[in-house]
Structure 1
Amino acid sequence: MEAFAIDIVISNQELNIPNPRLSKLNILKNAYLNDVLKVKSRIKKFNTNELLLSIEVYKELGNKKDIICNALFCFDLNEKAIDFAS
């Protein structure tokens, strides 16, 4: 999940954002080898100092989502990152 979070935040190679800090991790269920999992991300907070990115891993069961785990990553932003985002 950390690699996914980094890929979502850093789309420009010149952007220098430090490694994310894992703020929260909830492992709710087990996933199995043949399970088809999906990953969804959402920005929870974005300001001049930090970006909080929520990541959710789930599998679809018909019209329902069976959430396997979720995490919250915190990126401390620098001035170059803020200039890029605005």
Structure 2
Amino acid sequence: MRVSMRATIETMLEEELAELLARMRYDRGDGGAAKGYRHGHRERQLTGTFGTETVRVPRARIEEDEGKETEWRSKALPRYQAAGQEEPS
């Protein structure tokens, strides 16, 4: 069950990034200007009702409209927060 949960989360994160970059992993895209590029993965521990599990989160540099590059952050997986605290609205 835990392996299935980890695989589902990792697939969801890869698809979220692929949608933003408009290309899948190892794909060159359609020849248009790239919005950014992938550069590996980082490990992240998630704690939930299923216990603590380590997942691999893809990393990417995203080029903003102004030309500034920033590190990609998943919208599906918010940054760390203390246990018991809710995400600010």
Calculate the TM-score normalised by the size of structure 2. 0.30
Which of the pair is proportionally richer in helix? Answer: 2
Which of the pair is proportionally richer in strand? Answer: 1
Q: Which has the higher contact order (CA 8 A, sep 6+)?
A: 1
